[in-house]
Structure 1
Amino acid sequence: MNSHHNMPAATGERGYSLIEILMTLALAGIFFSAITGIFVSLNKGYQTREDVIEMLQYARVGIERVTRELRYARSFNVANATNVQFVATDIDGIKEVGGSEVWDVVEYGSYSDDGVATLGRKTALNVAPAQSASPTMSSYAAAARNLYSLSFEYFDNPVTLNPTTVTADVRAVRVTLTIRTASKDADYSYNGGYRIYTLSAIVMPRNIEPL
């Protein structure tokens, strides 16, 4: 009787060498580094887009509010390059108090709100006409944040746009408002890393007679 011994068949399999393991780890590191870079890039792009959208909104809201209220102006108390203060009617919808006519005084300028340059708005609402030339104004309230620059130009004729420095002669105002992004972009080399957006408009107050 022949006896047979069963021997395990050779499979040809072997373990990974140290070099192969190190190469695998290196490739995995490169892969994850690339994925991380893509993630950081996408996240930065998203943040930049959000900053730009916010910038555009602030600029549009700011210029719309200033120009809309300037159209109600009936006279100017202050008319310089950085501030404008004007007397208007019906800004808040109230024309009379106790049967007496009342006016509103509005001022626009720039101020710092927690360290952020901001387009500000002051008011003195429902004042007697006799007090409108030197009213007690409120503190600034924010009209648009992240202000980059603000300027006002004054003209005595809305057609010829002849400049004037006399408040009583103002018949048109050019408002130029520039808003920046909230954050710097390290890849943007202009304006100190801030993207900016400028809007400008000429306003002709409807309640002031031509010269």
Structure 2
Amino acid sequence: MRQRHSHRHARGQAGFTLVEAIIVIVVTGIVAAMTAAFIRLPVQGYIDTEARADMADAADLALRRMSRELRLALPFSIGLYNGNQTIQFLLTKTGARYIDAAFQPPATLLPLDFVGGNPSFDIVGAAPTGRQAIVPGDYIVIANSGTPPANAYAFGAGADNISRVAAINGTRVTLQQNLFASTQSPQQMFQVVTGTVTYVCTPAANGGGTLQRYYTTNIVSGVGNLAALGTPAVLTGMVAGCAFNNVPLAGRGGALMTMALTLQRAGGESARLVRQTQLDNPI
């Protein structure tokens, strides 16, 4: 009697048979495969959307930076190079007015000398302060038109509308050398240039290119010598394409800059962003 009870108890403790285990594994595999088929597409869509959003943000940040600085470009100093994939311009930070000798100012105020080459002159009103403060090494530019002799790019080579600052004390500016001559402003206005900015776009297949910003405190014309453009800083990588175009606005004295930038992940998603910036070019 005891032996029969023990035998029934042993049979009750038995586990799954091999056939049952195989059936469970097969069923589990089928369920997992079906679940993966339903989940894969939404997950992949989410990953692709995130990738496009990241690239769009990177492109937008780069183009916003370019637009902001282009609005500070010295009038008639924007140039396009390398098949409209490079932008160069002279960067301004402020402007002010000089005293004209024709107004017969008091002896305590020095007008800007267009005849004798006196290197010192006084600013009308208070001198710019903070980030806009005039400092030694800046350039004073008057009525830039982009054509000789009022072409600031020809600094030191015949331009008579640009001179470099040696010192400033209060409202009195002293130039390294007074090169001003025939080019004058009817409103006695000048602009302060800090140097040359160059945006160089180098696209490559599968997003292997870059968009770089070069800056130098020197006046540089053209992009034939990259070493002369200053130290580069990468605005964004993943660059697959870019195109810049500057179209004059007839009768409005300005231009419309269109910038297109395409970013792409290696062998994957891409995003193209276009931004237009209206530029004013007063003299």
- Shorter-chain TM-score bucket reads 0.5 to 0.7
Whether 1:111 aligns to 2:202 is yes
> 1:62 maps to what in 2?
62
> 1:120 maps to what in 2?
212
Aligned to 1:72, the other structure's residue is in SS state coil
1:209 partner letter: P
Q: CA deviation at 1:201?
A: 0.6
- Distance in 2 (CA, whole Å) between partners of 1:96 and 1:158 is 36
Trace 1:183-202 onto structure 2 (pairs within 5 A): 183-185=266-268, 194-202=269-277
Whether 1:29 aligns to 2:29 is yes
Q: CA deviation at 1:22?
A: 1.8
> 1:95 maps to what in 2?
134
1:195 partner letter: S
CA contact (8 A) 1:87 1:104 kept: yes
Unaligned 5+ runs, structure 1: 161-169, 186-193
Greater displacement, 92-101 / 16-25:
92-101
- Distance in 2 (CA, whole Å) between partners of 1:60 and 1:120 is 15
- Distance in 2 (CA, whole Å) between partners of 1:179 and 1:94 is 37
CA contact (8 A) 1:54 1:181 kept: no
1:201 partner letter: Q
Distance 1:180 1:156, change over 3 A: closer
> 2:157 maps to what in 1?
none
> 1:165 maps to what in 2?
none
Q: What CA deviation, in whole Å up to 9, does each residue of 1:24-79 have, x standing for no partner? A: 12112233445566676566445424322211211111111111111111132632
Unaligned 5+ runs, structure 2: 95-130, 137-166, 169-174, 176-191
1:90 partner letter: K
> 1:209 maps to what in 2?
282
> 1:178 maps to what in 2?
261
- Distance in 1 (CA, whole Å) between partners of 2:133 and 2:43 is 48
CA contact (8 A) 1:51 1:181 kept: no
Whether 1:145 aligns to 2:237 is yes
2:244 partner letter: F
Q: What CA deviation, in whole Å up to 9, does each residue of 1:170-198 have, x standing for no partner? A: 9414232223243434xxxxxxxx32132
TM normalised by structure 2 equals: 0.52
Q: CA deviation at 1:119?
A: 1.4
Q: What CA deviation, in whole Å up to 9, does each residue of 1:94-138 have, x standing for no partner? A: 53313346532111121379x83111111113x4xxx45479311
RMSD across aligned positions (CA): 3.6
CA contact (8 A) 1:111 1:140 kept: no
CA contact (8 A) 1:151 1:176 kept: yes
- Distance in 2 (CA, whole Å) between partners of 1:150 and 1:112 is 7
Distance 1:77 1:52, change over 3 A: closer
Distance 1:15 1:93, change over 3 A: same
CA contact (8 A) 1:82 1:150 kept: yes
Higher normalized contact order (CA 8 Å, seq sep 6+, divided by chain length): 1
- Distance in 2 (CA, whole Å) between partners of 1:151 and 1:25 is 57
- Distance in 1 (CA, whole Å) between partners of 2:222 and 2:209 is 26
